[in-house]
Amino acid sequence: MNHATRFTAAALVGLVMTGCQGASGTEAMGGVASTKSGTLTTQSAQIPVVGRDYTTLYTVEPHGKSGARVGVATIRDDGSAVIENVPLAGPGEFLTQSQVGIQRGQSRTWFAPQTGSQPRQAIQFAAHGQSIVWLETKSTDLFYQDWKAYAARVGQRQPTLLADSFALTKTDAIPYPPGVTTLSTDGVNAWWVMVYPTKKAPRGWGARIMVRDVGAHGPLKIAVDRAMLPTAIPQGLIYVREKMVDPGMTSNQYQIRLLKGGVDALISPGSLIKDESVLSICASKTVLAWAVHSPSTTRQNPGISTGGRLHVMTLATKVQRIVTLDDAAWGLSLGCGTTFVAWGNGSGNGDPGQYVLSVASGKIWKLGSSRGISVVHVASDILAWTLPPKSAQEAAPWKVVKWHGV
C-alpha cells in the first residue's frame, strides 16, 4: 500500500550506518540491460498440465483449531509452507493474535505466539533455508502500521525479536512502507523497510532499509537509506530507488540496484510517466522481476492503458522480457523461481488470474483465477497459489506444487 501521509516522531539515533546512503554509483553491473524483441501478454496463456508442467505436493486447507483461519504466508524451497493461524475475532475485537508455523504435507508445527497488551497480526513474511522472518502489527488503521520484526529457525520454539518500531520512533503512527515487498532474508540477515520523518522528502517521510542478523547477536543497522523493496539474493541485496523515497531522483526515473559488501552497483535504470511507480519486486539467484503500476487516466495522462507492465530479467545476461498486464499492478503478488516467474494481482481490482512465465521460452501458463486473493509464492522450483474458496464465508485453500514447465 502507498499512503502520502505525514507523521512526527523522535529522530532515529544510535543506529550503525552501513552500505550506500546516497544514489552514487552509476556503472551498470555487467553492462547495460537489453530487452528481447516483442512484448508478451497474458492473452496467450495456456493451462498447465498436471504431471507434465507440475507435480502436486499437497493442499493447505484454510481451517485451524476452533474456527481459526489458516493461510500460506510464504513457501520454502524444500516444499514446506510457512503458514499463519488467525483465530476468529470475538465481540468487540478487530484482530486476534496470529501464530506462525510450518506445514509439510498435512503435518503442522507452530512457533510460540507472541504475547503483549494488545494482539498482533503477522503481515509480511520471508524465508530462506532454515530461517523465517516476519513482521507483526497491532494496527487496524488504514494509514498507519506499527511493527515488530521477528525471526526463527526451523525447530526453534520461541521466535527472536529483531526490532520494535516504537522503540525507534516513540510513536505507533507510522505510515505504511512503500511497495508490496518490504521484507527479505538470506538466512543470515533480515532486511525490512521502515519509514521515518524528513522535511526533504515530498511526502514528509522517507524510507530506509534496516538490517539485523536473524539471531539478533549484532546491532540493528541501516543498510540503505532512501531506498525500498529489499530483495536478498546470493549476489547481495537488490533494492529500488525512485523519487517517492529519494528526493535526489528525478520524477520520471527509477533504479534497480545491488548492494554487496559495501559496493553499490546499478543493475537496471528505468523510465516512468507521471504517477507510475515500481511497487513489486522479486529475485532468485538467476532471475529478477519487477512490476511498474500504471496510473489512472487523467488530464495529465490522457489515454493511458489500465495495464501495468512486468519486467523479467535474466541476471547473467541482463536481458529483459516485458509483459503487458491486464491489471494496474498496484499490489502485484510476484515470485521468482530458478527458471520462472509467477504472479497474481493480490487483492486488487482487474485481472484476478494467476500466471507463470518461463524466462527462457517466454511461454505463459494460467494457473487459475481467484478474485480478491490472487496470490502466489515461489521458492526455487516450488510454487504455491490460492484456490477459490468454497464459499464467501471461507478462507482460500492453497495448492503447493513442484514446477516443471519450460
Query: Cell for 97?
Result: 493474535
**Angstrom distance (rounded) from CA 256 to CA 282:** 11
Q: Which residue, chain included where needed, has cell 507510522?
A: 174
C-alpha distances in Å from residue 355, one per residue of 244, 352, 358, 370: 29, 10, 10, 11
Count Cα atoms within 13 angstroms, Cβ side, for 55: 5
Residue spans per domain, the chain: 30-57+279-406, 61-272
pLDDT of res. 216: 98
Residue pair 165/182 in contact by the 8 Å Cβ criterion: no
Helix then strand then coil, % of the chain, to nearest 5: 5, 45, 50
Name the residue among 281, 272, 207 with its Cα closest to residue 245: 207
CATH 2.120.10 correct for 61-272: yes
pLDDT in tens, 187-238: 999 999 999 887 776 677 889 999 999 999 999 999 999 999 999 999 999 9
Beta strands in 219-352 (DSSP E): 221-225, 228-233, 236-242, 253-260, 263-271, 277-283, 287-293, 309-314, 319-324, 333-336, 340-344
**Angstrom distance (rounded) from CA 362 to CA 319:** 12
pLDDT of res. 349: 81
C-alpha distances in Å from residue 62, one per residue of 59, 91, 237, 257, 373: 9, 22, 33, 38, 13
Q: Which residue, chain included where needed, has cell 507434465?
A: 52
Per-residue pLDDT of the chain (406 residues; tens, 9 = 90+): 343 322 222 222 233 334 443 333 333 344 445 566 468 999 999 999 999 999 999 999 999 988 899 999 999 999 999 999 999 988 888 899 999 999 999 999 999 998 778 899 999 999 999 999 999 999 999 889 999 999 999 999 999 999 999 999 888 889 999 999 999 999 999 999 999 887 776 677 889 999 999 999 999 999 999 999 999 999 999 999 999 899 899 989 999 999 998 899 999 999 998 889 999 999 999 999 999 998 865 555 555 556 899 999 999 999 999 999 998 999 999 999 999 999 999 988 889 999 999 999 999 999 999 999 999 999 999 999 999 998 877 889 999 999 999 9
pLDDT of res. 43: 92
* Global model pTM greater than 0.85: yes
pLDDT of res. 201: 66
The length of the chain is: 406
